[in-house]
């Protein structure tokens, strides 16, 4: 097995079959995941039960409350876009599950049907984002925390951007994402803006444009300005971005505590079907 760091962030793992990993190989994969934030595999010949078995080696599966599920395997969330749908799922920088009190460890995404071109996924390192912040911004966020929520995304309302096309129109009746009843029961958590990663012990920036709502102890204008400064730093930090091009048999597994991702929506009129399994996380702290 070989683990090779790729440009920006992440590592490609070659010479393995995820269906038959020895304990030693699996331990090395876990270490690579903690260190690099996202790991990539190519040419994996898997069916749904292989995907589930691989994910379960990392921990308990989170059965998604908001995504449509695979008809036979509720553990698998469908990240799907049909040719007649304009919007995609995850079409903006975000990290999954920051709206939970114990954010998910990560997600394993398997390509099942790809467009002829387009549909790459962007990743950004929140370790490197934190390390490269200007010192004055690092000082400013020291000890601060922020409120995160999924209500505006998964419930109903004008900000429910997952359901809205680029043209601002809803893709009616897609049923792909959202559940207003469950969204209404979410209790919004407060997380430190800089966390100490539970696996690597490294510091990571932990805010994101989809789910972070406000900085605790600031008025709205001050909070919006600070979050905007942090987001601009990540948006423009091209040296800690990686653009992953999917091929049949590709798998990406990202850490939700140390990375952001963004599914590019540049394949209108084509189908893209991905299977995602998310793994439960643990408490996070400063
Ligand atoms: C997601 O945000 O989970 C989807 C990523 C992708 O489809 O590339």
Do the beta carbons of residue 276 and residue 161 sit within 8 Å? no
pLDDT in tens, 227-267: 999 999 999 999 999 999 999 999 999 999 999 999 999 99
* Residue 90 structure tokens: 């995850």
**How many domains, the chain?**
1
Active-site residue identified among 94, 148, 241, 257 = 94
CA of 47 to the centre of ligand 1 (A): 19
Which of ligand 1's atoms lies nearest the C-alpha of 120? 8
Backbone angles phi, psi at 173, to 5 degrees: 65, 20
Q: pLDDT at residue 172 above 70? A: no
Question: Looking at the domain assignment, is residue 199 inside a domain?
Answer: yes
* Residue 153 structure tokens: 């995304």
Q: What is the CATH number of the domain that holds 225?
A: 3.60.130.10
Question: Looking at the domain assignment, is residue 212 inside a domain?
Answer: yes
* Residue 13 structure tokens: 């793992």
DSSP state of 172: T
The residue segments making up the domain with residue 135 are 2-150+186-279
pLDDT in tens, 59-108: 999 998 888 889 999 999 999 999 988 888 898 999 999 999 999 999 99
For strand 11-14 and strand 241-244, is the pairing parallel, antiparallel, or unpaired? unpaired
Question: Looking at the domain assignment, is residue 42 inside a domain?
Answer: yes
Question: Looking at the domain assignment, is residue 92 inside a domain?
Answer: yes
Q: What is the pTM of this model?
A: 0.94
Question: Looking at the domain assignment, is residue 119 inside a domain?
Answer: yes
CB neighbours (10 Å) of residue 209? 18
CB neighbours (10 Å) of residue 172? 7
* Residue 20 structure tokens: 């038959």
Do the beta carbons of residue 270 and residue 88 sit within 8 Å? no
Question: Looking at the domain assignment, is residue 131 inside a domain?
Answer: yes
What's the pLDDT at 157? 65
Q: Which of 239, 280, 282 is nearest to 65 (CA)?
A: 280
Question: Looking at the domain assignment, is residue 171 inside a domain?
Answer: no
Ligand 1 pocket test, candidate residues 38, 107, 109, 208, most atoms within 8 A of CB: 109
Task: Give the Cα separation of 217 and 178 in Å (integer).
Answer: 30
Which of ligand 1's atoms lies nearest the C-alpha of 107? 3
Question: Looking at the domain assignment, is residue 286 inside a domain?
Answer: no
Task: Give the Cα separation of 73 and 158 in Å (integer).
Answer: 31
């Amino acid at each position: 097995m070989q683990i090779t760091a790729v440009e920006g962030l992440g590592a490609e793992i070659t010479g393995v079959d995820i269906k038959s990993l020895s304990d030693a190989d699996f331990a090395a994969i876990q270490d690579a995941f903690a260190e690099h934030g996202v790991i990539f595999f190519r040419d994996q010949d898997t069916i749904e039960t292989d995907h589930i078995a691989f994910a379960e080696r990392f921990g308990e599966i989170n059965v998604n409350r908001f995504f449509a599920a695979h008809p036979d395997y509720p553990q698998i969330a469908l990240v799907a876009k049909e040719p007649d749908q304009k919007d995609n799922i995850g079409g903006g920088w975000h990290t999954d599950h920051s709206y939970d009190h114990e954010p998910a460890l990560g997600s394993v995404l398997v390509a099942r049907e790809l467009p002829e071109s387009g549909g790459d996924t962007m990743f950004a390192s929140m370790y490197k984002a934190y390390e490269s912040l200007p010192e004055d911004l690092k000082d400013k966020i020291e000890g601060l925390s922020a409120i995160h929520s999924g209500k505006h995304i998964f419930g109903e309302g004008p900000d429910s951007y997952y359901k809205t096309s680029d043209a601002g129109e809803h893709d009616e009746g897609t049923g792909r994402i959202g559940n207003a009843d469950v969204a209404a029961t979410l209790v919004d958590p407060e997380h430190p803006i800089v966390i100490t990663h539970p696996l690597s012990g490294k510091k990571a920036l932990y805010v994101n444009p989809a789910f972070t709502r406000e900085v605790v102890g600031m008025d709205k204008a001050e909070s919006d300005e600070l979050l905007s400064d942090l987001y601009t730093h990540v948006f423009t930090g091209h040296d800690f971005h990686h653009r992953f091009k999917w091929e049949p048999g590709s798998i990406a597994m990202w850490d939700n505590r140390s990375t952001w991702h963004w599914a590019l929506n540049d394949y209108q009129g084509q189908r893209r079907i991905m299977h995602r399994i998310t793994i439960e996380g643990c408490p996070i702290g400063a």
